[in-house]
Amino acid sequence: MTDTSPIVRIENLRLDRGGRTVLRDINLSVPRGSIVAVLGPSGSGKSTLLSALTGELAAAAGSVQVLGQEVPRSQRALLELRKGIGVLLQGNGLLTDLTAAENVALPLRMHTKLPAAVIRRLVLMKLHAVGLRAAADAYPRELSGGMARRVALARALALDPPLMIYDEPLTGLDPIASGVVMSLVRRLNDTLGLTSIVVTHHVHETLPIADHAVVIANGGIVFSGTPDALQASDDPLIRQFLDGEPDGPIPFESRAFSSAEVA
């Protein structure tokens, strides 16, 4: 039977860093097969939320469930959970002395005992999925920014994770490369049966491919709904973010909250 439970469930979450509260009262449910855009200005805590999903940052309060289980504290259990989560990092994280194919092969070599010939075939399949099979033997320095981002995406998909997390996937990309990457996110999500969480401040490039949108600002979630509802909102805070206004409810410098303020 098809599993209809949320692939991510966050309840009453509070996240602290350095004794200061970054996010509070976070509630979020991510349906399987969907693309959820987590939007917000720089410094609003979007990447901090990702850290909670991958177990890098433990919850100060509340719960985080991923792939049907509470995010574990033990390193061994956390490693097993992370095998089911593909992460596309802001800076790609490609190893410069390895070819595109060798970069994609890394997770397969580290976490499986597959023969080299099978790994090579799987690597070529992943590169083909992102349109870069012909660049298998190229080094990162020989790739454009958009191509390098797609190689990093192929590597994130190497272990066939059911959940994909994209951390600012359009950083440093031109409009054409941005369009290619975002259309690829939608196509891969649909064809491979993935669930995707896209964390970004690139609103207009991300909303067309998203099923659900969440906006984080001022230490919490200020909007959760469809992309159409987001764009139609007349909330001053939402309008400031969408329209890029310098003055409004969202201050230029984000501040953390003390534990006393959120108690």
pLDDT tens digit string along 113-168? 999 999 999 999 999 999 999 999 999 999 998 899 999 999 999 999 999 999 99
Together in a domain, 140 and 239 = no
| Per-residue pLDDT at 175 exceeds 70 | yes
- Residue at a domain's end among 108, 129, 160: 160
- Report d(CA 10, CA 174) in Å as an integer: 34
Residue 23's H or E segment, with its range, is strand 20-30
Residues 223 and 247 occupy one common structural domain: yes
Residues 134 and 193 occupy one common structural domain: no
pLDDT at 3: 66
Inside any domain, residue 226: yes
Residue 151 domain boundaries: 95-160
Do residues 66 and 190 share a domain? yes
Ramachandran region, residue 96 (left: φ > 0; alpha: ψ -120 to 50; beta: rest): alpha
Task: Give the pLDDT of residue 263.
Answer: 46
Q: Is residue 253 situated within a structural domain?
A: yes
Q: Which residue, 144, 160, 176, sits at the end of a domain?
A: 160
Q: Tell whether 21 and 78 lie within a shared domain.
A: yes
19: in domain: yes
- 175 shares a domain with 240: yes
Of 77-81, 116-120, 251-255, the one with minimum mean pLDDT is 251-255
| Residue 3: inside a domain | no
Q: What is the pLDDT of residue 86?
A: 93
Looking at the structure, tell me whether residues 255 and 170 fall in a common domain: yes
pLDDT in the model for residue 19: 85
Total structural domains within the chain: 2
Provide CB contacts within 8 A for 24, sequence distance 6+.
13, 14, 15, 219, 220, 257, 262
Q: What is the pLDDT of residue 255?
A: 53
In a domain, 1, yes or no: no
Q: What is the CATH number of the domain that holds 54?
A: 3.40.50.300
Domain identity same for 250 and 132: no
Q: Which pLDDT value is given to residue 246?
A: 75
pLDDT of 258 > 70? The answer is no
Whether 153 and 172 map to the same domain: the answer is no
Above 80 in pLDDT, residue 100? Answer: yes
- Asked whether 6 and 67 are in contact (CB, 8 A), the reply is no
Task: Answer yes or no: is 216 within a domain.
Answer: yes
DSSP letter assigned to residue 164: E
Residues 12 and 57 in one domain: yes
262, pLDDT greater than 80: no
Q: Which of 160, 179, 200 is the last residue of a domain?
A: 160
Q: Is 182 within the bounds of a domain?
A: yes
- Helix, strand and coil in the chain, % to nearest 5: 40, 25, 35
Examine the domain organization and report whether 31 and 114 are in the same domain: no
Does residue 2 lie in a domain region?
A: no
Domain identity same for 76 and 100: no
